Structure 1
């Protein structure tokens, strides 16, 4: 089978799948229709299918003719709580829910990749696991992994891909090392002593303490962190008080910590020290909580070199971007990359004439469907090459 010709033959089906998923978006852990469409499709290809993993996820296993290693291809399924404003003929039917991050395209590419690979399974030595993950926007990967998707058979390597509007359509971004930042959400609850706004000397203001905490943490990033180890502390929610002349009992501060390096825990320890010191000065008390959004996504050198070689053969060296593509956004494919050798690839989808250059999570976000066959070819050929190399 000539892979590119086969994918081109399936182009209409590929685009049709994408538009169907786009028209019927579902939020994380609510991808019931999506999961059924995926599972039914994979079963129709003759794959071994496991449904309802992490509630709505699906895993399909393609066994090659001969023994060998197992590579996982992973995609996400969830949409966002956003009202669509694209004006597309296949816009979301579900009010307030939209595929505004490209997961609809990811789903379609993965299903067609499964179809192409199933057509040559007698030529494969080893196995391909197709992992359809729910709730990527809020870290569903760890739950899926906890339910054993990397076992039976054991996964030896993994590949993920994201349609990426910061990159021009048809170009591929692929780089070794840190690619997407770890993300931890934090909440600081500052407790003081409330009272009358006209007698602040009888109170302990949690607001003044909290303001100093915010300022000090921003200064900590500026003055203490290595500029070659990108670190961001941002604040997204602050709440305190009910009335202008009442000093409240507490203040709540919520934000996120993002690190494009492996020293996240050390930064968290320093945050706690800073908050504790300011709390002592103000005579307040506090509680600080961290919740992991996702860990650092780190591309394995060997797997990335393999995918880069395949990508060059598909789009040419001039259309590869191999540096300066790391971002402070998070992606829970990191849960795979920290367990098995993995690579995560950006497939450009920005085309100004087509209106596909809006940022991710924007109500007018759309993808350039002409790049979808490129993604399928890259998934298929990377899996084939990995199994051939590791089974030789």
Structure 2
């Protein structure tokens, strides 16, 4: 039996364990930068296994497990995140979240489960491997500045030659793997604009400086950044997610708070969109005789999937199509963002998708929805695809 078949059999034997791990983590979700129990659970998984385990960030919960092969070779990084979201779960699964207001609504419980399965299999055959695998269990992907930057800042990954990661997505069933290359995921920033005016009686608007009217003007005007200020061949999105002006029908309020996000698939747009939003806020303040405070937070950069590593991964997966999955598709750029982008700024690699759509569901609930569910068949597909790619990269120095 060759090494690939041996590893595939090992993860097949662990499929039920991976499912149980995923369900345990789903029941006990923890928010970004607060994942102490999750980290302890992961550390316990590796207890008494012949590996090196480190927590590189002194005040955070990331764990790096080093699996040294019997022969020298490349060092490959494999990463999965393990934080959850501040969402109240609305599914009816028997392993529903027991932490009120917190849910694994993005699939990081599944990410951790399949990576633990991959790690366990690789440990079993490590003397037959040429090279080293670094298993990166990352905290805090969901909340900028994110965990990836903290891990990279420690220098713990300076010896990694290539890095790979996966995100599950219920757009398709687990028989489908999807990839894209070059600028693949959007960069993102968030902002909160507070407009302060002078309130008063609704019957006398001329005696006020109406923050609500100024706010609506701002919301309308910033849409022209995408439609009139950005090259049509570039991709940008500005979305207002919250407009908060509580009050009553006959009172003009003093203050309005507006929250939004800017996304872009060109790194040059990061600063440009901020500058344009700031200019519009200034002009609205001047035109409506109000003041403002703009809290603008730069989030994750554009995720660049390196063409060579992406093409190599696609070639490997093409050879396995029809075995443990049926469809391999190249997809357009996506406007979601991921802090895996920070790894790819320093280390060649790629980040791809595994389908996790439940069977017999026409319109699944997507990631970040309180009714998000995972088709657990994706765990084995994800594990085998990572093994496929990792073996190829170790054997083709």
- The answer, yes or no, to whether TM exceeds 0.5 is yes
Q: In structure 1, how many angstroms separate the alpha carbons of the residues matched to 2:37 and 2:49?
A: 19
Aligned to 2:311: 305
1:22-171 pair list within 5 angstroms: 22-51=26-55, 53=57, 54-139=59-144, 140-145=146-151, 147-148=153-154, 150-151=156-157, 154-171=159-176
> 1:248: how far off?
4.0
Which range moved further: 351-360 or 36-45?
351-360
Q: Match of 1:91, SS?
A: coil
1:258-297 pair list within 5 angstroms: 258-262=263-267, 263-297=269-303
Aligned to 2:329: 321
> 1:214: how far off?
1.0
Aligned to 1:366: 373
Q: Match of 1:310, SS?
A: helix
Aligned to 1:221: 226
Task: Judge conservation of contact 1:184–1:291 (CA < 8 Å) in 2.
Answer: yes
Q: In structure 1, how many angstroms separate the alpha carbons of the residues matched to 2:28 and 2:174?
A: 25
Task: Judge conservation of contact 2:225–2:273 (CA < 8 Å) in 1.
Answer: no
Aligned to 1:375: 382
Q: In structure 1, how many angstroms separate the alpha carbons of the residues matched to 2:241 and 2:307?
A: 35
Q: In structure 2, how many angstroms separate the alpha carbons of the residues matched to 1:84 and 1:194?
A: 39
Q: In structure 1, how many angstroms separate the alpha carbons of the residues matched to 2:244 and 2:13?
A: 56
Task: Judge conservation of contact 1:170–1:315 (CA < 8 Å) in 2.
Answer: no
Query: After superposition, what is the alpha-carbon deviation per residue over 1:321-364, rounded to whole angstroms, capped at 9, x for unaligned?
Result: 1123x322222111212222121110011133279932112233
Query: After superposition, what is the alpha-carbon deviation per residue over 1:214-241, rounded to whole angstroms, capped at 9, x for unaligned?
Result: 1111133223323332211111222346
RMSD: 2.4
Number of aligned residue pairs:
388
Query: After superposition, what is the alpha-carbon deviation per residue over 1:45-71, rounded to whole angstroms, capped at 9, x for unaligned?
Result: 221111373522211111223333322
Q: 1:14 aligns with which of 15, 18, 43?
A: 18
Aligned to 2:359: 352
Query: After superposition, what is the alpha-carbon deviation per residue over 1:97-120, rounded to whole angstroms, capped at 9, x for unaligned?
Result: 222211111111101111111122
Aligned to 1:191: 196
Which range moved further: 228-237 or 45-54?
45-54
> 1:73: how far off?
0.7
Q: Match of 1:353, SS?
A: coil
Task: Judge conservation of contact 1:354–1:368 (CA < 8 Å) in 2.
Answer: no
- Structure 2 residue ranges without an equivalent (≥5): none
Residues 82/40 of structure 1: CA separation in 2 closer, same or farther (3 Å cut): same
Q: In structure 1, how many angstroms separate the alpha carbons of the residues matched to 2:190 and 2:64?
A: 29
TM-score normalised to structure 1 length: 0.90
Which range moved further: 164-173 or 279-288?
279-288
Q: In structure 2, how many angstroms separate the alpha carbons of the residues matched to 1:355 and 1:198?
A: 51
- Structure 1 residue ranges without an equivalent (≥5): none
